[in-house]
Amino acid sequence: MNQGCLDYQMTRRRMLGLSSATLLGMPIAQMLARAGETKQANAEHVILFWCGGGMSHIDTWDPKPGRPVAGEFDPINTSADGIQISGIFPKLAKQMHHGALIRSIAGTNGAHGRASYQLQTSYNESGNLVHPGIGSIVTHEKDRLGDLPAFITVSGNARRAGYLGQKCEAYYVGRPGEKDPYLAFPAGITQMRGNKRLDVLAKMNLRNARNLSAEESKSVNTATKEAVNLMRSPALKAFELNGEDAKTIARYGDTDFGRGALLARRLVETGVRFVQVNRGGFDTHNNNFPAMQNHGDIMDPALASLVEDLAASGKLEKTMVIVLSEFGRTPRINNNAGRDHHARCFSCFMAGGGIKGGQVIGKSDEDAIMPAERPVNPHDLHASICYALGIDHSKEVETPLGRPMRLVSEGAKPVIELFG
């Protein structure tokens, strides 16, 4: 296995619980408190904006003006000729020449749990086998770049690593911009003093590893080593937004989502392979339109600024940006001015990572009920991400029980048109 996967789940949780190492009789926490199919792949990073709850495709990426299902938002022209999106995204519309839309995702699950599982793993839930999320797959298959974890999730949990193991779990960041207390020396502890205590901690862990199983010992030692290296790394500054220019923060939006998008940019610039930024609140059975307007007000400046900045720096060509949800919403507006679950046809936004901007893949029917052209299955999205990163999506890996499993479910094909 390459060095992309590191045991950060262990670092944050089990390092402080499993390890029995102490210093001067204090637990670790207290001690630290005191002490190739076609063209060559282009992408190196992925930023996934996961919109939990089921984002309305009609009110975002696939407006239907003049139809009874249209709702309250007028479509607006974009910087890509002939492409319109919802009026809730006026700033992102100006970056559409960098982006692509898929308007014909054909899902099969209308329940949140099953649909989220499928969209994030490419598999349907089955029995006791837990399939890894796409972020864990990328972490497993790509070499690590730099000192930071290869997979970071912001403002919410990512799909688990499943049979790939804890070494491919996401590193969790709660509120973007806040220091992680597990990776910072407390006030009053200088870097030099802290480094000395970390050296002692590493030695204590080696000694206490005799009381653990071989697997636990290896995990604890790996976790401690990586935590120590990370605490000493100047790359940690990528997490700190207090040094960012106030105008930049205002441009992204001084919200958790805006800061999350800004943090995602900083993280990929530092070498993080996969960043997932989470936002919920899309399950709009009631009052869909005020909710979607609020989502637009918050997401629009963040997404537009991210794409613009990555393009300006030249990083967009190497960074795939995806805005995705587990399903869409019904074209029909219910009696509570809401839209219900709709998996049969929905949309997503993608940009960068070798994607040809200014295009639409697929087409929904006149009311966005079903795909009318070029249906795209959920696992095709995973194959497309793998394709962009140079990962063989059909590769088989063995589970701990020796069962061969494909990285992406059988039958998946990259949406080659995305890449021009």
Do 237 and 102 contact (CB within 8 A), yes or no?
no
- Matching residue, tokens 């793993």: 121
> Could you please report the per-residue DSSP string of 209-261?
GGGS-HHHHHHHHHHHHHHHHHHH-GGGGGG--TTS-HHHHHHH-SSHHHHHH
Tell which phi-psi region holds residue 391, choosing left (phi > 0), alpha (psi between -120 and 50) or beta: beta
* Centroid of chain to Cα 350: 13
Which residue type occupies 366? E
Do 252 and 258 contact (CB within 8 A), yes or no?
yes
- Matching residue, tokens 């299955």: 377
Which residues in the chain land under pLDDT 50?
A: 1, 6-38
Q: How far apart are CA 154 and CA 306, in angstroms?
A: 15
| Tokens of residue 165, six digits | 């193991």
Torsion angles phi and psi, residue 43, rounded to 5: -75, 145
Cα Rg, the chain, nearest whole Å: 22
Do 353 and 414 contact (CB within 8 A), yes or no?
no
Q: How far apart are CA 394 and CA 407, in angstroms?
A: 6
Torsion angles phi and psi, residue 119, rounded to 5: -70, -25
* Cα-based distances in Å from 353 to 4, 42, 177: 19, 6, 26
Q: How far apart are CA 229 and CA 221, in angstroms?
A: 12
pLDDT, tens digit (0-9, with 9 covering 90-100), for 71-81: 999 999 999 99
Domains and CATH numbers, the chain: 1-35+184-240 (no CATH), 42-177+241-419 (3.40.720)
* Centroid of chain to Cα 166: 17
Identify the pLDDT of residue 17.
38
Helix/strand/coil for 359: strand
Residues β-bridged to residue 86: 75
Helices (H), 94-152: 112-121, 134-141
8-state DSSP, 129: B
- Matching residue, tokens 């530092």: 270
> Could you please report the per-residue DSSP string of 173-196?
ESSTTSPPGGGSPPTT--HHHHHH
Identify the pLDDT of residue 218.
63
